[in-house]
Each structure stands twice: as C-alpha cells, then as structure tokens.
C-alpha cells in the first residue's frame, strides 16, 4: 500500500509499505478521507514529541472495513466507519479513577498513519471508539470525529450557557470548531486570529465578532459592557498568549488552555489577578470515550463542519497542503488516497 512517511521536519516521502493484516480483535480500514490538523502541521514544521520520525503520521480519518480479525462481531467487511486513533486501557490507575483521557498508556498505544491507503485499528479502539458512519454523513465530515471529540472534552469542563460571552483565541480549525460548539449552545462568541480569510469564515459561521488581536479589547468592551468575557478558550499554544488570555476574563471567569505549548515552556501569571478575581485556569487534554460518543452524535445530527474543508489533495500530493497551511492558507485539507 502507499503510505505517507514524515521523514524529518519539512520532508515527506510516499512509500510502498506492506498492507497490514488485522490480528485478533482488530479491524483493517481502507481510508476514504484523512484530514490535516495542527499537530500534524507542528510535526511537519519542527517535529513533535508524540509523532516519531521517520514514521507514518495522520490521525483523523474515516473509511470502509477491509478486513476483521478473529472475534470481531460488530463490524464486517464493507461497513462504512469512523473512528479516533486512541482508546484508554481501562486498567491503569487513571482509568480506575475514570480519568480516561489521562490514561497512562493512551499516547503509547495510539495509532498513526491515516495518510495511507489502509490503517489497522487495535482492539481497544474497535471496542470503544469505532462507529458505523451514518449514510448521510460524508467521509470528509466523518473524519472530524477526532478533533471534535477534543473540543467536546474541553468545552465539557464548563457549563457554557445561552448568552454567555466567550472569547476564542485562534481562528484555526480547533478555534472554529469551538465556535461551532459555542454557537450550538447559544453563546455569544468573539474570535480572534491573524488570517483575514479565517476571520471572514468565522463570521459566516456565526461569530458575533471576528477580529484581529488589536481589536479584541474593543470587541469585549462593546459586548460585555466593560465586564470581560465569561470564558476564554486559548487555541494557539503560544506561551505569551497563554499569559495574555487571563486579562480578558471577567472576575470569576474561566480560562481553558486548549492549545499545547512546546515542551519545557513556562508561563507567568499575576497572582493577585488569579486570587482576588477568582480566575480559574483549566488545562484540557485529549478525550474520553463519552466525549467521542458525544462528538459522533453531533456529527450524526449534522453539525455542519464542511465549511472547514479548504480543499482536497491526493495522497501523492501530501506535502502540498502542509506547505499551504504553513503559509496560513486554508483551514483543513482532505487527503484522498
């Protein structure tokens, strides 16, 4: 089969590799669509600690069942399916505490290699996080299951209510998914970013204000009456923006730190602001099986994620979308084997 290999930062090779065979409890999926994401882009630009190089990459996908291992009963060859690339072990101390997204093995057992013709899903994923794709849902939209699960988890930390005022920092794919989710809950949303085309898309998706960083304070003052926002979702992973995000929250507000900073990065906050204004800081990471089920239900009910697809490329042209993304062009690209 053809497989995209990330050899080193900036270097992708398309290689012929053996088509894997599913073992007991596993499912072989023929990829119909795989999506680019911010983690893949970071790996392409500078490497990433959870994406070994050289090696296969890509982890947002959907497809059809091409084979099943012994003991698989709920899926058969030809089924159209959607999945995420990990599942908790259900045995470690964190899983016993139902902190499934923090499973001690979840990153070690994740599956990479969606930028290929086939991918094998281990038993844990098959049992917990593999779903039959609704017929009315396209393969490209179905491949949003993984990133949407992450957003569902992060937003689930808060009880976002109708008319809440939310600031989303970062108008990339994750920021725009936060926007869709927040509007679904009836919140008012300010989103900020650097790319004007992405801000224009955010307006079409229902943002109450979509502004460059220089316009954030004015937008907040106008929509909050000078109070500040109820919640901030930081989606850039830049330490200086982590620090600045606290300044936008109202007293008693919450800042959700979604974007991951580089390993070893440190941030500094005004202790008086956190203490006397009761600002809550929340980290968020990955998702649980319940989050995946919730994301599946949202996509099944046709949460329209299609506007986030900026274009389509054949697997043979895998490097091109990453070069475009590195220049700020587009949001997400579908890779079609």
pLDDT digits (tens, 9 = 90+) for 90-128: 999 999 999 999 999 999 999 999 999 999 999 999 999
DSSP three-state, residue 165: strand
User: Taking a C-beta distance cutoff of 8 angstroms, is the pair 284, 158 a contact?
Assistant: no
Distance, in Å, from the CA atom of 240 to the CA atom of 206, rounded to the nearest integer, reads 28
Q: What parts of the chain have a pLDDT lower than 50? A: none
Q: Which two tokens stand for residue 19?
A: 């088509």
pLDDT at res. 49: 81
User: Taking a C-beta distance cutoff of 8 angstroms, is the pair 39, 122 a contact?
Assistant: no
CB proximity list for 274: less than 8 A, separation 6 or greater: 246, 281
pLDDT at res. 116: 98
User: Taking a C-beta distance cutoff of 8 angstroms, is the pair 44, 9 a contact?
Assistant: yes
pLDDT at res. 199: 98
- CA atoms 8, 10, 13, 14: torsion sign: positive
pLDDT at res. 262: 87
What value does the mean pLDDT of the chain take?
Answer: 96
Question: Which residues make beta-bridge pairs with 190?
Answer: 167, 209
Q: DSSP secondary structure string, 240-276?
A: HHHHHHGGGEEEEEEEEE-SPPPTT------HHHHHH
Going by C-alpha positions, the residue among 37, 47, 34 that lies closest to residue 6 is: 47
Gyration radius from the chain CA atoms: 20
- In the sheet with 11-16, reading across from the earlier edge strand, the strands are 11-16, 2-8, 55-56
Cis before 22 (ω within 30): no
pLDDT at res. 47: 87
pLDDT at res. 6: 96
User: Taking a C-beta distance cutoff of 8 angstroms, is the pair 32, 63 a contact?
Assistant: yes
Q: Which two tokens stand for residue 197?
A: 């085309």
* Residue 190: its H or E element: strand 188-192
pLDDT at res. 234: 98
pLDDT at res. 308: 98
User: Taking a C-beta distance cutoff of 8 angstroms, is the pair 130, 273 a contact?
Assistant: no
Question: Which residues make beta-bridge pairs with 283?
Answer: 257
Q: Give the strand pairing for 130-132 and 188-192.
A: unpaired
Domains of the chain: 2-149+287-336 (3.90.180.10), 158-283 (3.40.50.720)
pLDDT at res. 168: 98
């Amino acid at each position: 089969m053809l497989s995209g290999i990330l050899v080193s930062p900036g270097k992708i090779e398309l290689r012929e590799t053996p088509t894997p065979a599913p073992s007991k409890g596993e499912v072989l999926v023929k990829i119909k669509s795989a999506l680019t994401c911010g983690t893949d882009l970071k790996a392409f630009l500078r490497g990433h600690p959870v994406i070994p190089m050289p090696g296969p990459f890509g982890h947002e996908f959907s497809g059809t069942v091409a084979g099943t291992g012994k003991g698989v009963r709920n899926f058969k060859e030809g089924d159209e399916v959607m999945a995420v690339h990990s599942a908790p072990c259900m045995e470690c101390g964190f899983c016993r505490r139902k902190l499934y997204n923090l499973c001690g093995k979840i990153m070690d057992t994740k599956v990479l290699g969606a930028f290929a013709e086939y991918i094998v899903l281990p038993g844990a994923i098959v049992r917990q996080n593999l779903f039959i794709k609704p017929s009315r849902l396209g393969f490209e939209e179905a491949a949003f299951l993984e990133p949407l699960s992450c957003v569902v988890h992060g937003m689930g930390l808060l009880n976002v209510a109708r008319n809440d005022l939310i600031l989303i920092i970062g108008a990339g794919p994750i920021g725009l998914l936060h926007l869709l989710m927040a509007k679904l809950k009836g919140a008012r949303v300010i989103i900020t970013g650097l790319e004007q085309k992405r801000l224009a898309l955010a307006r079409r998706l229902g943002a109450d204000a979509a502004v460059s960083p220089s316009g954030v304070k004015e937008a907040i003052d106008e929509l909050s009456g000078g109070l500040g926002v109820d919640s901030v979702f930081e989606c850039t992973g830049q330490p200086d923006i982590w620090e600045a995000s606290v300044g936008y929250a109202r007293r008693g507000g919450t800042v959700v730190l979604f974007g991951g900073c580089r390993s070893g990065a440190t941030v500094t906050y005004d202790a008086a602001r956190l203490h006397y204004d009761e600002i809550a800081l929340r980290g968020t990471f990955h998702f649980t099986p319940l989050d995946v089920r919730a994301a599946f239900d949202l996509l099944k009910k046709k949460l329209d994620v299609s506007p986030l697809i900026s274009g389509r490329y054949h697997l043979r042209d895998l490097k091109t979308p990453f070069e475009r993304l590195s220049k700020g062009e587009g949001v997400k690209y579908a890779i079609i084997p």
